[in-house]
Structure 1
Amino acid sequence: MRQLYITFCFIVFSCFPILAQDNKEQFERIETAKVAFISNRLDLSPQEAQKFFPIYNQYQREIVNIIRKKRPARSSGPGSMNALDFDSDILACKKKYLEKFKAVIPSAKAVKFFDVERDFRDQLFRELESRSRDRRQ
């Protein structure tokens, strides 16, 4: 019985890296699609894209950090962030990066960025929803 348990544990734990790799590959495909979507919708030249995307990556990291700070708020524990603080931090981050984007791409494109980002997210959710519906049928 113990041998069976050890074998089972080995099989389960050996599958985790495979699952993680699939998730990583899927995340990378989504990120690649997002970069292409943003580049296309903002009509970025190769030179503009070269300057824009390093700043965009910084923006993404800051947004993720703000979101991570909010997560403990669900439990309302110490160090948690209330909704108003969260919204304020997100807005401040967007304003800060709008100025940084304007420094490397035309203002009209920089202003349009946040709408394009939202459009990509909406399209991604619709696609995931559609796939989920297709699997249930």
Structure 2
Amino acid sequence: MKRFFLTILAAAAFLSTAQSQTVAERLKAIRAEVYTRVLNLTPEEAQNFWPIFNEYVDEKESLQKQLRPEGQIDGMSDAEVEDYIKKYFEVRQKEFDLEKELVQKLRKVLPARKIAKLPKAEREFRESLLKRLQELKERRQQRRGRN
């Protein structure tokens, strides 16, 4: 979970340099490219897949925002930490239920083999973001070296 947020944060920093598109638009475009390729979506499948998947992503992001602690965990009282732990597992259960719901909806528009490739598509999406961030970091270091 922590790694996911760091990946997205880093991607946001990287993509903030894109002048013609917002960060969210750029992330969405990268995700669309990777998922379409990995799942090998036909145009008709893509037309049916993306509204369902985008709704899922929005709902999952909303759930993940609930997990952000109000402050530093070390600064919380024992009762607040207990509440946070309880909330953590409640949100994780909701995420699991949301993923099951996604699969049920996708069964109506995609073959099972393509649905089974969703975790691979997500991994490749994250790897793509990390690769782009590394390339940006290297370009920045090269520019600093020239000055």
TM over 0.5: yes
Aligned partners of 1:108 and 1:73: how far apart in 2? 41
The Cα offsets for residues 61-112 of structure 1, whole Å up to 9 and x where unpaired, read as: 1111111111136556778564333332222211110111111110110121
Provide the residue aligned with 2:89 in structure 1. Answer: 84
Q: CA offset at residue 28 of structure 1? A: 1.4
- CA radius of gyration, larger in: 1
Provide the residue aligned with 1:134 in structure 2. Answer: 139
Provide the residue aligned with 1:39 in structure 2. Answer: 36
Is the 8 Å Cα contact of residues 37 and 120 (structure 1) preserved in structure 2? yes
Provide the residue aligned with 1:110 in structure 2. Answer: 115
The normalised TM-score by structure 1 is 0.70
- Determine what percentage of the aligned residue pairs are the same residue: 25
The normalised TM-score by structure 2 is 0.66
Could you list the runs of 5+ residues in structure 1 that have no partner in the other structure?
Answer: 1-18
Structure number with the higher helix fraction is 1
**Pick aligned residue for 1:123 from 128, 138, 145:** 128
What is the one-letter code of the residue matched to 2:30?
Answer: A
Could you list the runs of 5+ residues in structure 2 that have no partner in the other structure?
Answer: 1-15, 143-147
Is the 8 Å Cα contact of residues 98 and 111 (structure 1) preserved in structure 2? no
> What CA RMSD, in Å, does the superposition of the two structures yield over aligned residues?
2.7
**Pick aligned residue for 2:106 from 101, 104, 108:** 101
- Kindly tell me the number of residue pairs found equivalent between the two proteins: 118
Closer, same or farther: CA 132–82 of 1 in aligned 2, 3 Å: farther
Relative contact order: is structure 1 or structure 2 higher (C-alpha 8 Å, sep ≥ 6)? Answer: 2
